[in-house]
Chains A and B, each alone.
Chain A
Amino acid sequence: MKKKRFVYPLALVAVSLLLLLAACTPESRSSSGTPTAATGEEPKVTLDFWTFWGSETRRPIIEKIIDDFNQSQDRIMVKHTYLPFGDIWTKNLASIAAGNPADVIVNDYADVNLRASKNQNTDLSSYLAEDDIESRFYPELWNNVLYEDKAYALPFNTDTRLLYYNKEAFREAGLDPEQPPQTWAELEEYAQKLDKKSENGYEQVGFYPLWGDFGVDSWLINGDGGNGYFDESDQAAINTPGKVATLEWLKSWQDRLGRQTVDAMKADFGSGVSDPFISGKVAMYIQTGTYNTQIEEFGQDLDIGVAPIPEREAGSGHWSSGGGFVVEIPKGAAHPEEAWEFIKYLTDVDAQKYWAMENFDNVANIEAAEDPEANENPVYQASVENLADTKVFQVPLSASGYKDLINPHTDAVFLDKETPEQALEGAEKDVQALMSKNQ
């Protein structure tokens, strides 16, 4: 009798502990593996490659590139793991902290230096010493992967912004469709000619600077001679005359159209067929090079042209802004040499050219980007040429989090709560306070 009483609860505890252990083992990540027919006799090294490219368009492309790599040699087998865009960053952080990170990961270009300072990616200098591939990349992009003059990632792709304009609308308004606006003054002039007003609002707005993929920060670069918020010596350069003038110019557009109109129209914008440019609500629209795929899918009847971003005045420069992604080896990855082989392949001409041609995305490898076959598409060619004027900025480490301090001030300008001078003065003061705290 006594034994029975003890066995029961003990068995229950054992079972529940087993369940606890089962629940606590690391979950197998969802992955779509490439065929694992291993024919070689040497032990294969398997690499885990994390990306967030799971869409119907991108996934097959990256998986073909991985497949090509796997077929091209015997030692390394790369496995693709897809993680959703927001999740991938936190999972990466957690896995590095836990000591079992991915072998290669696609990460954001903007904070390579922040991650490097926090020991989250691997210094590639020793690999580059034997294999100096720096020259295959655009110099602007190369600067962004440096931390203390050492490379911690390789640039993979980038983008640039162009002015898309509706040639049909130009003809209707009596403008020459082959002569897009070159300067801010021309831009304003053409925009006003392209405005089509009706009793209850605008049927077509010629142009509004902040609709599209060119925000206040991008315009401030364009209007201030290609200079971002921080100058060469990592000092804050926010309250400059060029930027104040730019902000005033941007505000004048809102004053002319009326804030209510701007907000109301913007809220109606969608994507696909209800995209403002594709549906004809806006005649000129700034967007990235890959926007062309949307036009080809949803707006085949449109007669469009692209142009570099208008410069402030003749000669000040058609500055555009860009972003992009890099490939890096998380710190603590098990097979860094093999991972290096793979990222070398990813950034080499074949893989990059395939990516460029299938996606119409701007790639980091110069030879692949300027390949004549890809450049047959005029919009793509324009985007590649535009890279020369595209600024891609690295944020100084002491200013991490600067956006949350600048944006409220620039928002305030468009809400009539601060003048452009006050806004930029306030923003510079706040950012400088942040930087001195972090020194």
Chain B
Amino acid sequence: MPEGPVVRAPAPPATLLIRGARVLDPRRALDGAHDVLIRDGVIAEIGAAGTVVAPADAEVVPGEGRHLFPAFVDPHVHLRTPGQEHKEDLETGTRAAAAGGYGCVVAMPNTDPVVDSAAVFRSLRDAAARDARIPVGFMAAITRGQAGRELTEMAELRALGALGFTDDGKPVVSAGVLRKALQYQRLAGGVLALHEEDPSLSGRGVMHEGPLSARLGVAGIPSVSESTMVARDAALAGYEGPVARVHMQHLSCRESVEAVAFAKERGWGVTAEVTPHHLTMTDEAVATLDTSRKMNPPLRSEDDRRALVDGLRSGVIDCIATDHAPHARDEKEVPFEQAPMGTTGLETAFAAVYTDLVVPGVLGLALLVDRLTSGGALFGLPVPAIEVGATANVTLVDLEQEWMVGEGGYESRSQNCCFGGRTLRGAVLLTVAAGSPAWRARAFSVVGA
């Protein structure tokens, strides 16, 4: 049985010197060209560019003109193990994560079977200890079978390492059930991560309800389907406070941002995330009924998108999460209404937000790095830091490099990426996760070694 809140396969610790990269750690006011020496998986020395002496056994990584960030942390991914390994598994999913600059991800429990018992949870962590390339934390379900009725054995699951609980993919429809989960949280601990949707409002909807859904004749999912549930559950958390902790997953609309802001003003235990696709795309991207742009919650209006960007900037939204949701090609090669919801996102998260929001000057680079690294802390995980003595969790990025999404294939087992075919700026060259090299771009060579 693996120990600790996150698990990965054994990997040899890195010893390498990253020379002359512009090091940016937004929490340490570190922003300049430095040499960073990683010895036996730990950051051993940070010095002015060109000053650190490479030990004989160190690889030397040319960092000039590139950026070194703390490795990203994704609090919301679907790795599909157990039961749906034709879409993704722990190895391919964590490889995709490392390729996107991630050093840690949190996996959702809506697998087959659902992660709702100690037996499934244990076997999943054991599998991660064999197959995961970067550390993975696991959530367990709030309700058995995600059926929305009886609570799982939350205390036992927490003791086994569950970071928190979520029925993600489905909402907890009953306010009464969610309230019980919030009460029980005082015993079990862990964050309740909530997929907010009122099924009586979303119905058979498959895209944002608006002018485009009216024109296309497909059923819409109104914004209020999400925002009314965000407001309801924030109020429940406020009522059950002060230890109640809920995390609103993948916000998609202005009203939800406003509901979270309202809750935060009152000091309720509410945090929130937003995906790269909701930050950069609108329902206009669905005009061609491209199934890779079908996800839940749906891409919404330009006004909603702007509210999400503003919320991320102001901190009402705490972090970026990909909601990486792989689906097999044949599952997505069907008419839009039949296709499953979800897009992959781990390999494109940084580049998509960098290209669409940082390059045009809408968001600062430091803010983007902050929001890409802050998600794990909401679930009690350490925030990766570039400082002497810290375990090496870093990603080396070339901000100038352009690449076409999907042109060179994907590390993920699935190809359903909503950014597929787009040319993005910002390529991840190297990721070191928990002290070990987790990913290196094919064309990226090192000297020394």
| A, B co-complexed | no
> CB within 8 Å of B: which residues of A?
none
> CB within 8 Å of A: which residues of B?
none
